[in-house]
Structure 1
Amino acid sequence: MRDPLAEPSDLIRSVSRALRVLEAVGRAPRGLTVKQIARRCELTVATTYHLVRTLAYEGYVIRREDGTYIVGLEVADRYRELVSAFRGPPAVGETLRRAALDTGYSHFLGRFIGGQVAITASAEGPRSPFLEDLVPGFDEGAHATALGKALLATLTPEQRYRYLKEYGMRPFTAATLSTVEAFEADLAAGDRRGMHLEIGQYRQGVACAAVLVAPDKDMERRVALACALPAAEMMTSARMVRSKLLAAARALSEAMVAVDHSV
């Protein structure tokens, strides 16, 4: 939901309307007609027609034979560019892949982007359950994932409270923490053990562990590393998981420092 009070004085309305059209089309996998787009975006049909024609010319929407419009391939290209920018330099991606290969567990990197927890890179491991939701992009379940916990633990209690109030604490499973008090106690336990955990809080039968890779005064430069594995394995292998995660975190930190020094 856009905040009307935050609208810039120099807003270019034609650009804003075009983005609203693109969002509407993106939410409708079966496609939309120009009239349907106009109704959903609260625009006139004539204005919508011109916007759709422009987006189609640029490749951001595609007109099908039945007259409906779907998202175009240019959107996929922009997504790949976004993922590449999130992932960072090749050395970081290679270190992440080595960690997944060494343990067999899927590994994830995350950081704050625009004040929101985001997954920035991932490497799949064959021993981990497939988690289709944990792909590069914003993490709407930060309170239920170890990655989110590791990052939120770096905030002050007041900052965390505001974050949880804004993004909510959706109950993904019966084990998902649903109160700020329970969440604060969970973070304190994670700090004591040197690794943040969740077991069945995001997905039944799945566990995740996470550690901080790069602490920094700048919130947007803080990086966390997580891995996912069957919950039963976490119950018996927590110490090994922590040891492997810390080793991978050190390797990632060194890779990031090396890149910073080369710039």
Structure 2
Amino acid sequence: MARRTPALQRGLDILELFTDGRESVSAPEVVAELGLPRTTVHELLHTLSARAYLTRHPEIPGRYRPGLQLFRLGSAYTDGLDLPTLGREAAREMVEECNETSHVAVLDDRHIVYLAKVDSSHAVRMVSSLGRRLPAHCTALGKVLLAALPDEEVLRRLGQGRLEPLSADSITDPDRLVRELAGVRDSGSAVEVCEANPDVSCVSAPVRDRTGQVVAALSISVPQHRWSDERCEQLRELVRDGARRFSLRLGASGA
């Protein structure tokens, strides 16, 4: 295994202090939080400032803020983000952990559109395809995405009349859907039992970008013969964790 460079690790430790949302740091704070010698901290701060990874605070002497180079690196990372590619990676991780089919979808007005799909190894698989559209109110993915909107916007998109069902278990009452979306916001995940397909149940969780906005949803779909209340709770925890990791890759803070 290649040897890690202690000085570089210490410099990165200083930069990572800003990941908790703080606006600036001082040398004494770095010494106290990282347990480094004062001389070492001053040398590191000087070097990071000289390379524009930090900049001196214009109004408070002795404090340092993130510099232009960090912005440039962050912008380069953001420019390289590819939601479908990252979605496939996240879905693949889900399948590796539970061996059930996983999807990633985005919201398109009142429908969801599948961006990524990874099948389980089971003989019976989900009949779905990339680019396919489904009514958002009938799916766990859609409920997660609708829950990110204000109730007024949800009703505007779906209308006040009876919602179109995909199965006998689909929600058709807009008011009932709004009540369920409140629970989705509270729990951080959604469940759909045979609402889009009478033979399939699903759990889903929101994926956020660096601004905290919900930009996609990650799901795990299960044939009804492998579904149970216990399995549901296991998969809800799993998909929430998978969505959190996906969000971190999109730059979300503390997702």
| TM-score (structure 2 length as normaliser) | 0.58
| Alignment partners' CA distance in 2, 1:159 and 1:127 | 39
1:103 equivalent in alignment to 2:104: no
Most deviating of 240-249 and 184-193: 184-193
Q: Which amino acid aligns with 2:117?
A: S
**Secondary structure class of the residue paired with 2:155:** helix
| Alignment partners' CA distance in 2, 1:116 and 1:205 | 21
Q: Which amino acid aligns with 2:200?
A: V
1:158 equivalent in alignment to 2:158: no
1:223 equivalent in alignment to 2:231: no
Per the alignment, residue 203 of structure 2 pairs with: 209
> Does structure 2 conserve the Cα–Cα contact (< 8 Å) formed by 1:200 and 1:207?
yes
Per the alignment, residue 126 of structure 1 pairs with: 121
Q: Which amino acid aligns with 1:117?
A: I
- Once the two structures are superposed, residues 184-203 of structure 1 have per-residue CA deviations (whole angstroms, 9 ceiling, x without a partner) of 12212323333211101111
Query: How many aligned residue pairs are there?
Result: 171
Q: Which amino acid aligns with 1:227?
A: I
Structure 2 gap ranges (5+): 1-80
1:11-90 maps to which residues of 2 (within 5 A)?
88=83, 90=85
> Does structure 2 conserve the Cα–Cα contact (< 8 Å) formed by 1:197 and 1:209?
yes
> Which one of 173, 178, 181 corresponds to residue 179 of structure 1?
173
> Does structure 2 conserve the Cα–Cα contact (< 8 Å) formed by 1:128 and 1:230?
no
| Alignment partners' CA distance in 1, 2:149 and 2:210 | 11
| Alignment partners' CA distance in 1, 2:147 and 2:123 | 25
- Once the two structures are superposed, residues 26-82 of structure 1 have per-residue CA deviations (whole angstroms, 9 ceiling, x without a partner) of xxxxxxxxxxxxxxxxxxxxxxxxxxxxxxxxxxxxxxxxxxxxxxxxxxxxxxxxx
Do the aligned partners of residues 154 and 90 (structure 1) sit closer, same or farther apart at CA in structure 2, a change above 3 Å counting? closer
Report the structure, 1 or 2, having the larger helix content. Answer: 1
What value does the CA root-mean-square deviation take over the aligned residues? Answer: 3.0
- Once the two structures are superposed, residues 211-243 of structure 1 have per-residue CA deviations (whole angstroms, 9 ceiling, x without a partner) of 111167797x61211110123524221221112
**Secondary structure class of the residue paired with 2:159:** helix
Do the aligned partners of residues 234 and 109 (structure 1) sit closer, same or farther apart at CA in structure 2, a change above 3 Å counting? farther
**Secondary structure class of the residue paired with 1:172:** coil
Shift of 1:254: 2.4
Per the alignment, residue 193 of structure 2 pairs with: 199
> Does structure 2 conserve the Cα–Cα contact (< 8 Å) formed by 1:92 and 1:256?
no
Q: Which amino acid aligns with 2:118?
A: A
1:170 equivalent in alignment to 2:142: no
> Does structure 1 conserve the Cα–Cα contact (< 8 Å) formed by 2:210 and 2:250?
no
Aligned-pair identity (%): 21
> Does structure 1 conserve the Cα–Cα contact (< 8 Å) formed by 2:162 and 2:174?
no
Larger radius of gyration: 2
| Alignment partners' CA distance in 2, 1:87 and 1:217 | 16
Structure 1 gap ranges (5+): 1-85, 259-263
Do the aligned partners of residues 151 and 236 (structure 1) sit closer, same or farther apart at CA in structure 2, a change above 3 Å counting? same
